[in-house]
């Protein structure tokens, strides 16, 4: 078992990473300290696969476990589901010493984390991410929240978990498309911070896609380490944390515009990264070779790189403007300066769209 630490003073916490950790939940939660009452927020699909070992382990350690199911899907990450969770917590007489466990992907993690952040003005919570995407991204760093019909995560809080428990075994039951989508975020860490991780992915993509145990552990641990270091530098995203947004300005807007049902988050981010890297090349920040490697790795993983042909760029721009990262009409757009380095440019949605339009024109003329 790996133990990484997110160092945030009195809000520091461990990330446990290894195989078969679900059945050690009780022991690890006991170590972190919690009252006897523990709610497990999950959905039916995830619960069918992973609830039993978690619940048994907690019961064995003397906890009283209350499973709390929420409906599946990004469209239920909203104030309604949050309100339903509150009803349950109040019905079960949760107090400030009670804990919540988020058992699931990013939707569950964000929702349960926000419920923990705001119930009684904050109770402890634990992240047990069951998708690759949640393991390398949402579960670490304390971003919690729900969606508004106008955009993702517009309502939320920064609120750190007491511990993160990453069981790599769960990836063996994860649908392949979901695994691949998660790889997009792993690739992102390589692009923004870690040429070595990027090279590791390039050299071992096939083995990684076949869930090679050692490689998985390396890739996830490297990703979580980068995420932890970035969060330590800038917990509340006042400055540097925005680097994690590479590929997300376009990715989020695309997800929002397509109603969250055409692309998995990782797929939209893959397109966003490919477009951002291409823009970076055109701005003279990124060399040809790096751009080629980035596009090659994304495609090699089975991820998309092009905006869908039907997309209307002005509508995409509208979605960018309600993104919570925009300030005074400008968006802090993350560009890459080769592999492992980034640069922030403040651009309006129109600036970004003009660049995307020019890329699309080039693609179209090449395809003719």
Q: How many CB atoms lie within 10 A of CB 71?
A: 13
Nearer to its own copies, 106 or 182 (CB): 106
Cβ–Cβ < 8 Å for 11, 230: no
If the CB atoms of residues 116 and 183 are measured against its own copies, the closer one turns out to be 116
Q: Which residue has the tokens 């906890």?
A: 63
Please answer whether residues 160 and 139 qualify as being in contact, where contact means their C-beta atoms are separated by less than 8 angstroms: no
CA torsion, points 342, 339, 260, 77, in degrees to nearest 10?
-60
Give the nearer residue to its own copies in terms of CB position, either 155 or 363. 155
Q: How far apart are CA 314 and CA 353, in angstroms?
A: 7
CB of 145 to its own copies, least distance (A): 6
Nearer to its own copies, 129 or 156 (CB): 156
- Other Cβ atoms less than 10 A from the Cβ of 226: the count is 22
Q: Which residues are catalytic?
A: 121, 143, 185, 227, 237, 241, 245, 248, 252, 265
User: In the complex, what is the shortest distance from the CB of residue 253 to its own copies, in angstroms, rounded to a whole number?
Assistant: 15
CB of residue 307 to its own copies, shortest distance in Å: 24
Q: C-beta of 280: minimal distance to its own copies in Å?
A: 24
Residue pair 257/311 in contact by the 8 Å Cβ criterion: yes
Rounded Cα gap, residues 90 and 95, in angstroms: 9
Residues forming contacts to its own copies in the complex (CB under 8 A) are 35-36, 79, 82-83, 86-87, 90, 93, 95-97, 117-122, 143, 145, 148, 150-151, 153-158, 236-237, 321-322, 324-329
Count how many Cα atoms sit within 13 Å of the Cα of residue 164 in the half-sphere of its side chain.
36
């Amino acid at each position: 078992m790996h133990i990484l630490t997110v160092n945030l003073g009195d809000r520091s916490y461990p990330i446990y990473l290894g195989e078969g950790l679900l059945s050690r939940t009780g022991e690890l939660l006991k170590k972190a300290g919690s009252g006897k009452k523990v709610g497990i927020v999950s959905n039916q699909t995830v619960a069918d696969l992973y609830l039993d070992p978690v619940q048994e382990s907690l019961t064995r350690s003397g906890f009283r476990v209350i499973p709390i199911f929420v409906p599946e899907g990004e469209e239920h990450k909203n104030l309604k589901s949050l309100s339903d969770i509150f009803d349950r917590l109040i019905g079960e007489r949760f107090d400030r010493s009670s804990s919540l466990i988020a058992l699931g992907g990013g939707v569950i993690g964000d929702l349960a984390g926000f419920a923990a952040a705001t119930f009684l003005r904050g109770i402890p919570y634990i992240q047990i991410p069951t998708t690759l995407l949640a393991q390398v991204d949402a579960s670490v760093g304390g971003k919690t929240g729900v969606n508004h019909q106008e955009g993702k995560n517009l309502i939320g809080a920064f609120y750190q978990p007491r511990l993160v428990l990453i069981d790599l075994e769960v990836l063996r039951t994860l649908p392949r498309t979901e695994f691949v989508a998660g790889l997009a975020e792993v690739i992102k860490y390589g692009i923004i911070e870690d040429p070595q991780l990027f090279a590791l992915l390039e050299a071992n993509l096939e083995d990684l896609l076949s869930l090679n145990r050692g490689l998985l552990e390396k890739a996830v641990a490297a990703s979580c380490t980068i995420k932890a270091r970035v969060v330590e530098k800038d917990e509340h995203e006042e400055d540097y944390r925005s680097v994690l947004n590479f590929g997300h300005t376009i990715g989020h807007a695309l997800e929002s515009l397509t109603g969250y049902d055409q692309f998995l988050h990782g797929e939209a981010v893959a397109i966003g990264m490919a477009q951002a890297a291409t823009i970076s090349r055109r701005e003279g920040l990124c060399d040809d070779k790096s751009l080629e490697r980035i596009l090659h790795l994304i495609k090699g993983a089975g991820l998309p790189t092009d905006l869908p042909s039907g997309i209307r760029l002005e509508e995409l721009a509208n979605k960018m403007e309600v993104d919570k990262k925009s300030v005074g009409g400008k968006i802090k757009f993350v560009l890459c300066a080769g592999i492992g380095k980034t640069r922030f440019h403040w651009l309006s949605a129109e600036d970004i769209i003009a660049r995307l339009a020019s890329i699309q024109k080039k693609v179209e003329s090449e395809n003719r």
